[in-house]
Structure 1
Amino acid sequence: MKFFIDTANLDEIAEAKSWGCLAGVTTNPSLYAKTGGKLEDFEPHMLKIAELCEGLPVSAESTAMTVEGMVEEGRRLSALAPNIVVKLPMCEAGLAACRALANEGVRVNMTLVFSATQALLAANAGARYISPFVGRYDDIALDGLSQLADVVACIKNYDWSDKNPDGRVEIIAASIRTPNHVTQAALMGADIATVPMKALKKCLHHPLTDAGLASFAADWARVTSN
């Protein structure tokens, strides 16, 4: 399973990339707002992320509400850099815009997916990536992992080679909060986990690893002090 980082923060992206395990970036309007960015700087900021990622897929989300607006904005975003993927919301307009953009060779990441039926509609509409959310289900005391499992199983049942520019569909496990979310997503066969920096660092650290490093450092300090 590949790791994407879910952020619009350039420093976080650079740090995750330095670890050698980053395979892409996902962003959304809320994440961009957290950077303090302004409307006129949105597209230049997406271009900076695309350049920083050196060809790795970067999802930039349309904020339009109509089919025409999504298609227009999708064309503009995808033209910024060859590695930009247009992110669209799961809704009637999003599906129609997805089909139109896919027909033009634009890769689409369909977001805000919460059910297998939504995922199947997105794949048929030409989505290259589908982002089912896990943590938001947990927020309302439902099992987000079981919904993710249904999405993975349904999508992997079929051949999508004629539906989108790359001829394949990848499942991005989104709204990831914990290392267990990542583990379970990998066990069920999700292609990608997109993880905020806080959760990514939780995946990196373990109390036994940290204790072992501290013990090694203390033992070596005794050696070097002799």
Structure 2
Amino acid sequence: MTSKLEQLKQFTTVVADTGDFDAIARLKPVDATTNPSLLLKAAALPRYSDLLQSAVHSSKGDLDLACDRFGVAVGQEILKVIPGRISTEVDARLSFDTQATLRRAERLVDLYDQAGIGRDRVLIKIASTWEGIRAAEQLEKAGVQTNLTLLFSFAQAQACADAGAFLISPFVGRIYDWYKKAESRDYVGAEDPGVQSVTRIYDYYKANDYQTVVMGASFRNLGQIEQLAGCDRLTISPELLQQLADDQGNLARKLSPGAASEARQTLDESQFRWALNEDAMATEKLAEGIRQFARDQEKLEKLLAGNA
């Protein structure tokens, strides 16, 4: 018998949700993704101490630039052990400023370019706000591919696909967390609200011939991953990847193109904002996620400043 991880890899591209170089090298995902929280954890690892110092000293007191340099440096190291792409995130504090997001995204691409890393190996992560989606639309037209993150609602998924985003990261576990708390009950299997959200998006994209990749993210347990087997991509923590690698049970494919779905609908800005407003879970989790990433970005800046 092969492990569930090996079975999953037969119909889903597996992505490591970590900045831990050793875990990535051990579990051999195709792609990897980082965010401010993961970079903050990476900054505490001895392996990255030299990269941290180099990012600080080459930025001459510019903490924004130092954070970007460190993120790209971590990305470079990860790209040495994966065959695919690294996702690197734009500062979450720019989530409501399209032009500022564009400038930071272009700087990240330039830093990778200076390091000899081509655009074909990088995805720029941006929060799925209206402003972030508009920035992604412009980047895609300029040949920079994007990963739209902090995605909790169907409206966000619709807008991302219409903007031509290369990839979206709907957050399964955080949706599950919200409903578990709100309804004072647990969810398992196909009834899990996070699983249902990604399944609906996947079916909608495939039925309407969208090319945007669906990458389920933020998993709390193996059951959620198993229910989304067959999704284009799944980004999974090292802990859950190891559990999949250790499990020799059978893993059945759950998602595949051809399921019935809603007809294509394009949302303008007011329709998008209203749909998001009507979804209490998505409104709360999007705001919370941006705040959390912003606080971790600030902690990373403070850490870098302490190494100046």
Normalised to the residue count of structure 1, the TM-score between the two structures is 0.80
Q: Pick 1 or 2: higher relative contact order, CA cutoff 8 A, min separation 6.
A: 2
2:104 to 73, 79, 84: 73
Number of the residue aligned with 1:8? 19
8 A Cα contact 1:59 1:87, kept in partner: yes
Number of the residue aligned with 2:60? none
Matched, 1:153 2:203: yes
Q: Give the secondary structure class of the aligned counterpart of 2:228.
A: helix
Number of the residue aligned with 1:171? 214
- In structure 2, distance between residues paired with 1:100 and 1:109: 13
Matched length: 195
- In structure 2, distance between residues paired with 1:47 and 1:69: 24
Higher fraction of strand = 1
Number of the residue aligned with 1:204? 245
Matched, 1:25 2:25: no
Percent identical among aligned pairs is 29
Q: Give the secondary structure class of the aligned counterpart of 1:35.
A: helix
4+ long deviations beyond 3 Å:
none
Q: Give the secondary structure class of the aligned counterpart of 2:179.
A: coil
Q: CA deviation at 1:199?
A: 0.8
1:102 to 140, 143, 150: 140
Moved more, 3-12 or 174-183: 174-183
Number of the residue aligned with 2:74? 45
Q: Which amino acid aligns with 1:49?
A: I
Q: CA deviation at 1:207?
A: 8.2
Q: Give the secondary structure class of the aligned counterpart of 2:43.
A: coil
Matched, 1:59 2:87: yes
Number of the residue aligned with 1:195? 236
Q: 1:120 to 1:47 in 2, by over 3 A?
A: same
Gaps of 5+ in 2: 1-11, 45-51, 53-62, 181-192, 250-308
Number of the residue aligned with 1:127? 165
Q: Which amino acid aligns with 2:22?
A: D
- In structure 2, distance between residues paired with 1:42 and 1:206: 33
8 A Cα contact 2:124 2:145, kept in partner: yes
- In structure 2, distance between residues paired with 1:107 and 1:77: 12
Q: What CA RMSD, in Å, does the superposition of the two structures yield over aligned residues? A: 2.0
Q: Which amino acid aligns with 2:209?
A: D
